[in-house]
Amino acid sequence: MKTLHIKWQRLVDDKGDTCDRCGATETAVEEAVGKLKCSLTNLGIDVALEKSTMSYAEFSKDTLQSNRIWIEGKPIEEWLSATNGQSQCCSVCGDSDCRTITVDGNSYEAVPAELILKAGLLAGAQLILGRPGDSCCTSLESPKGGSGCCSP
């Protein structure tokens, strides 16, 4: 079985707290991962979520590293043809500018489950179809005899 890897990182203070936007993204990530597991299991793909924390010292070096999502090693922005930006945050983050994501002209401070799900499905499709270099096929030929390898 193949595994779809999702990593999410955010600032967590000494008390284990995070800001509201990271809290909302955490809920969205968990919702999306649940839906992806249901959708992709029958296609032979497991979904693994890694939650990573940043200390305030790490956060203060580059605030835009908090509330970041990678799917199969690529930032979510790449899967969605999106851009990242920044806006002033609150609570745990102080008055720092934190990461935002803009998709189709809409800017989000907390990443919605729908965007994570869409990016996860795109990555899952790539796992099913194979990445360039992962297959013995060098063209768009069909696999030979179901072996996964193309005819010469």
Digitized pLDDT (tens) for each residue of the chain, 152 residues in all: 999 999 999 999 989 999 999 999 999 999 999 999 999 999 999 999 999 999 999 999 999 999 999 999 999 999 999 999 999 988 888 888 899 999 999 999 999 999 999 999 999 999 999 865 444 443 334 344 443 444 33
Q: Is residue 139 part of a domain?
A: no
Q: Residue 132: what pLDDT?
A: 53
Beta-carbon contacts of 76 under 8 Å, excluding residues fewer than 6 positions away, are 68, 69, 70, 82, 101, 111, 115, 116, 119
Task: For residue 96, give its domain range.
Answer: 2-129
Provide the whole-model pTM.
0.83
Q: Is residue 147 part of a domain?
A: no
Q: Residue 103: what pLDDT?
A: 97
Q: How many folded domains does the chain comprise?
A: 1
Q: Is residue 6 part of a domain?
A: yes
Task: Sheet containing 97-103: give its strands across.
Answer: 83-88, 97-103, 106-108
Q: Is residue 9 part of a domain?
A: yes
Q: Residue 145: what pLDDT?
A: 42
